[in-house]
Amino acid sequence: MSKNIVLGVTGGIAAYKACDIVSKLVKKDIKVDVIMTKNATNFVHPLTFQTLSSNVVNVDMFSDIKYWEVNHISLAKKADILLIAPATANIIAKITHGIADDMLSTVALATKAKMIIAPAMNTNMYDNPATKENIAILKSRGVIFIEPDTGLLACKDVGRGKLASVDNILKVVDYELHKSDELKGKKILITAGATIEDIDPVRYITNKSSGKMGYAIAKTAAQMGAEVTLISGSTHLEVPYNLSNYVCVRSAQDMYEEVQKYWKTSDVVIKAAAVADYTPREKFDNKMKKHDGDLSIPLKRTIDILKSMGEEKTSQILVGFAAETQNVEEYAKNKIIKKNLDMIVANDVSMAGAGFGTDTNIVQIFFKDFSSVKVDKLSKEELARTILRLIKEKIMDKR
């Protein structure tokens, strides 16, 4: 079912960034209704938001008297989230003290939806005791604040008060839209990304893993209420919102050492990282110079992190991944036995839509008894939710 967001835009130079917020929400098939304060219209014309959202923009409560009687209430009721970005000190004060003298403050008073506020103002205004107190009061009522960034402000001052990045705002909105208690109280450890095995200061051995699958699982597990620790190898991805712990590592040995700190106190361990099987026997301190002829670099096995956990596990649910190019089912079942897994997610990375770096995946999920579930092409975020629900329904709930 489509979600509805009411976006409040107040009068500040950062109002133009709200256009990007609307555009990106609409691309996610989220319905957006925009409410502008009169001062906001001095920075961005309402027609801009109307074009981006495909909805009439609300500014004046009395601009169309035949609609006003229900409009502020209908907007308050239809919202899954009321997002105010940018939010001035003025609107924060109004909401705190129950003042309803324009469309936005009236909807804020009438709605029962989750409210998210992203402040943007001069540093002195943000740090003023009155603003600080108002924010503290609203937080105590359950309002979520997205802290402003620090940088050069429109007034040429440098300090805290810049509107948080659009991506950060959307990350919080996405989390709140999909939040549930399905995994509340569970501790989940997830590894993701590729490890890097250094040869010298310039060269290294790695693999094609983007980390997208592991990050999608971490993001979704947090949305489902779990306490999530993500141990990440090399990626270019943004850190998911609301993780309990986030650790960056480089090599297979680094990942092993960090996993040892967390896995024994976890309820579920999902090893989605692509860890190198081999590492150079010797790392050169200086760059190796090119010479005529071939070059051989002796390699040694890295520690098998998944196998070591399988040998020591007690009550932990252990989930592995198998990225293969042939004999996928055979290798997956063999891995379940050898590594004492409760579940494995296997895929043929040579298939279109299932390889490294893609936003989709096609998998077959095997359980300890070799029963399996085939999952046709899904986005990695959709697949992440499927994987986590299967862990809960097929393993957790049967214990």
Does residue 118 contact residue 87 with C-beta atoms inside 8 Å? yes
Q: 19 an active-site residue?
A: no
Residue 66 scores a pLDDT above 70: no
**pLDDT for res 1:** 67
- Cis? peptide before 280, omega within 30° of 0: no
At 344, the amino acid letter reads I
- Rounded to an integer, the average pLDDT of 21-27 is 97
Determine the angle formed by the axes of helices 103-110 and 65-78, rounding to 10 degrees.
40
Structure token pair of residue 308 = 């070591």
pLDDT (average), residues 280-287: 92
Separation CA 390–CA 143 (nearest Å):
33
- Side-chain-facing half-sphere of 256: CA atoms under 13 Å: 14
Distances from the Cα of 126 to the Cα of 15, 92, 93, 131, 350, angstroms: 17, 11, 12, 6, 53
> What average pLDDT does range 267-271 have in this prediction?
98
Q: Which residue has the tokens 């109280």?
A: 185
pLDDT on residue 355: 76
Task: Give the per-residue pLDDT at 70.
Answer: 53
Mean pLDDT of 268-277: 97
Intrachain domains 4-178 and 187-398 with the same fold = yes
- Cβ-count burial of 12 within 10 angstroms (0-12 exposed, 13-18 middle, 19+ buried)? buried
Average pLDDT of the chain, as a whole number:
93
Average pLDDT for residues 114-130, to the nearest whole number? 95
Axis crossing angle, helix 89-96 with helix 129-140, rounded to the nearest 10 = 50
Give the span between the Cα atoms of 21 and 7, in whole angstroms.
9
Other CB atoms closer than 10 Å to residue 142's CB: what's the count? Answer: 8
pLDDT of residue 291: 78
For residues 104 and 91, give the distance between their C-alpha atoms in angstroms, rounded to a whole number: 8
* Fold assignment, 4-178: Rossmann fold (3.40.50)
Domain residue limits, the chain: 4-178, 187-398
Average pLDDT on 159-175 reads: 93
The pLDDT of residue 90 is 97
Question: CB neighbours of 362 closer than 8 A, spacing ≥ 6?
Answer: 347, 348, 351, 353, 354, 375, 376, 377, 378
- Interatomic CA distance for residues 199 and 251, integer angstroms: 12
Q: Which residue of the set 130, 152, 154, 155 is catalytic?
A: 155
pLDDT at 63: 58
Pairing of strands 197-198, 204-205: antiparallel
Q: Which of 122-126, 155-159, 233-237 has the lowest mean pLDDT?
A: 155-159
pLDDT, position 33? 95
Q: 187-398 adopts what CATH topology?
A: Rossmann fold (3.40.50)
Q: What is the mean pLDDT of residues 350-356?
A: 84
Query: Which two three-digit tokens encode residue 364?
Result: 């077959």
Q: Radius of gyration (Cα) for the chain, nearest Å? A: 25
Among 85-99, 125-139, 146-160, 324-338, the least confident range: 146-160
* The predicted structure's pLDDT at residue 154: 67
Give me the residue label for tokens 């990106």: 24
* Tally of helices (H runs) and strands (E runs) in the chain: 13, 19
